[in-house]
Structure 1
Amino acid sequence: MKTVSILGACLLMLAVQTLFAQTENASVEQQEIIDLSKEKWLWMADKKADTLADLFHEKSMFVHMGGAWGRQREVDVIKSGGIWYKKAAVYSVIVNIIGNTAILLNDIDLEAVVGGNTVTNPFMVTEVYIKENGKWKMGSLTFSRLLRPVKMDGNNSNQ
């Protein structure tokens, strides 16, 4: 049991170092996307549907465990509370910029209220941003459920 705890602590430290290394070595544009993604998780937790509607490109697409839909339905789901993205614990972030497109991968645990039930799932979230007229807009948000166990202990906050 002691060995498992020590191994777990070492793995956690390695994951945190990898996250900070990615953030420390990020270009200005990559850091802009990382910061925007962090803000987006906070806006989702605070149900700021109008702020999110401004971030979401008019042709954006969203893929969830229960289906896929466009911008307006995502905004409506957030406004209605159909999905409340309550808390995201972000463990790693990777950003690649290709021309005017940024692809961000987040390894997260997401605590959400879906249909009145609180659920926590481990996800690899793919966010695609497109830079138009000097402003980043989200083009896609995809949740891919991971097979790893949930790491969130209930004390983590949006990161």
Structure 2
Amino acid sequence: MKTTIIGLFVIMLTTQWSFAQNTAAEQEIIQLSKDKWQWMADKNVDKLGNLFHEKSMFVHMGGSWGKEREMDIIESGGIWYKKAGIHEVSVKIIENTAILLNRIDLLAEVGGNEVTNPFEVTEVYIKQNGKWKLGSLSFTRLMTRDDN
């Protein structure tokens, strides 16, 4: 009986540990997302231009648009993504597509006004020619702020 209980305990621990680990591809996407937030804060349109797919789409509280307009907004400071406080991250990879969910508090300057909003952000990445490209970035405003 004691051996059975110990065996079950070991199985439970190893199962939870294996689920908690991210694959190398998932880690790559998580790091790329973190880098993207920093590049947005730095208004680094050169790096963002390389990351954003030519046909990428961006969905904000105020509307949706493509790569060119998003790049113009970032460069001009129309939206200045100052800091993304990341609380939760999850990634699912389906063949050459990665879907990342971020629960964040975003400090931004919009039209000259500094605001902080809680968001669930969906990022969709597509792997082309061995490189991940951002295909979509969508912000869903949450009703309550995460206090983690």
Q: TM-score range by the shorter chain?
A: 0.7 to 0.9
Alignment pair present for 1:39 and 2:32: no
Structure 1 residue 151, shift from structure 2 partner: 3.4
2:89 to 64, 87, 93: 93
Partner amino acid, structure 2, of 1:144? T
The aligned residue for residue 149 of structure 1 is 145
Identity over aligned residues, as a percent?
65
Structure 1 residue 149, shift from structure 2 partner: 2.4
Work out the CA distance in 2 between the residues paired with 1:65 and 1:30.
Answer: 28
The aligned residue for residue 126 of structure 1 is 122
Larger radius of gyration: 2
Verify the 8 A CA contact 2:105 2:145 in the aligned structure 1: no
Aligned length: 132
1:74 to 51, 70, 78: 70
Following TM superposition, the consecutive aligned residue runs of length 4 or more in structure 1 with deviations greater than 2 angstroms are: 21-24, 149-152
Structure 1 residue 138, shift from structure 2 partner: 0.1
Partner amino acid, structure 1, of 2:126? I
Distance change (3 Å), C-alpha of 1:22 and 1:119: farther
The TM-score normalised by the length of structure 2 is: 0.85
Distance change (3 Å), C-alpha of 1:117 and 1:23: farther
Structure 1 residue 64, shift from structure 2 partner: 0.2
Cα deviation 1:116-146 (Å, max 9, x = unaligned): 0000000000000000000000000000000
CA RMSD for the aligned pairs? 1.7
Aligned residue for 1:86, secondary structure, equals strand
Alignment pair present for 1:136 and 2:132: yes
Verify the 8 A CA contact 1:22 1:94 in the aligned structure 2: no
Alignment pair present for 1:63 and 2:47: no
Alignment pair present for 1:102 and 2:98: yes
The TM-score normalised by the length of structure 1 is: 0.80
The aligned residue for residue 53 of structure 1 is 49
